[in-house]
Amino acid sequence: MHIVDGALSVPVLAGGAALAIAGVAVGLKKMDYDHLPQVGILSAAFFIASYIHLPIGFSSVHLILNGLIGLALGWAAFPALLVALLLQAVFFGFGGFLVLGVNTLNIALPAVLVYGLCRGGIVSSSPKVAATWGAVGGAGAVAITTVMVAASLALSGEAFLLAAKATLIAHIPVMIVEGFVTGAAVLLIRKVKPEFLNLSEEWEGG
């Protein structure tokens, strides 16, 4: 999912950075100090997810969790993911420095989109419907991210087209696993602590 420094063209880098800064600004505005711990936890969860490996078929994939982060945070997903990606780049050499903007945009924008699309579904009174929407959100976020990664590559040069297509195909198993995991996580969180998904305390469901 992370693109390294040097691969993308300058307009893509600059455009990605500008949009990411705008997203982070909106996110910071919508996030108050009382929510900081929750945002921090999800930011850390993204980091940890990258070393949770789940088997699928003969191989294994690691979780991304940007769908779940989006469902819980909305716009605050932007600052949360920027911080996680910055820490990964600086302390683990994941990705790079100047592509931070593009990487943040590619992972956080799908999270926000999923929030907009699936939010209505996960507050449904039927747990089955909610879990399904959670799964759609989890798989959908990975799908959009993959398309955006492929697009950033394709926009940087036609020579990248094949690699972009390969990225798309390689991530189908990730989408399947992510869908199951996010669906189950939504189901559990709804039951145990609905405030986590910003559902009010009087909310009746599940």
Judged by CB under 8 A, the chain residues 173 through 192 that form the site for another protein are 177, 180-189, 192
203 binds another protein (CB under 8 A): no
The residues pairing with 56 across neighbouring beta strands, listed in sequence order, are 59
Contact with another protein (CB under 8 A) among 12, 16, 23, 42? 42
206 binds another protein (CB under 8 A): no
135-164 residues in contact with another protein (CB under 8 A) are: 153, 158-163
CB 80 within 8 A of CB 70: no
CB of 171 vs another protein, minimal distance in Å: 12
Contact with another protein (CB under 8 A) among 39, 130, 136, 139? 39
Residue 199 has phi, psi (to 5 degrees) of: -85, 145
Considering beta carbons, is residue 30 or 119 the nearer one to another protein? 30
The alpha carbons of the chain give a radius of gyration, in whole angstroms, of: 17
In this structure, the number of other CB atoms found within 10 A of the CB of residue 198 comes to 15
198 binds another protein (CB under 8 A): no
74-93 residues in contact with another protein (CB under 8 A) are: 79-80, 82-84, 86-87, 89-93
Question: Which range touches another protein (CB under 8 A), out of 55-63, 108-116, 120-128, 140-148?
Answer: 55-63
98 binds another protein (CB under 8 A): yes
Contact with another protein (CB under 8 A) among 37, 120, 201, 204? 37
Among 105, 182, 197, smallest CA distance to 136 is for 182
Q: Which amino acid is at 136?
A: V
In this structure, the number of other CB atoms found within 10 A of the CB of residue 160 comes to 18
Contact with another protein (CB under 8 A) among 19, 26, 94, 124? 94
Residue 91 to residue 7: CA distance in whole angstroms: 21
| C-alpha count within 13 angstroms, C-beta hemisphere, residue 103 | 24
- Helix 100-122, helix 127-155: angle, nearest 10: 160
117-136 residues in contact with another protein (CB under 8 A) are: none
73 binds another protein (CB under 8 A): no
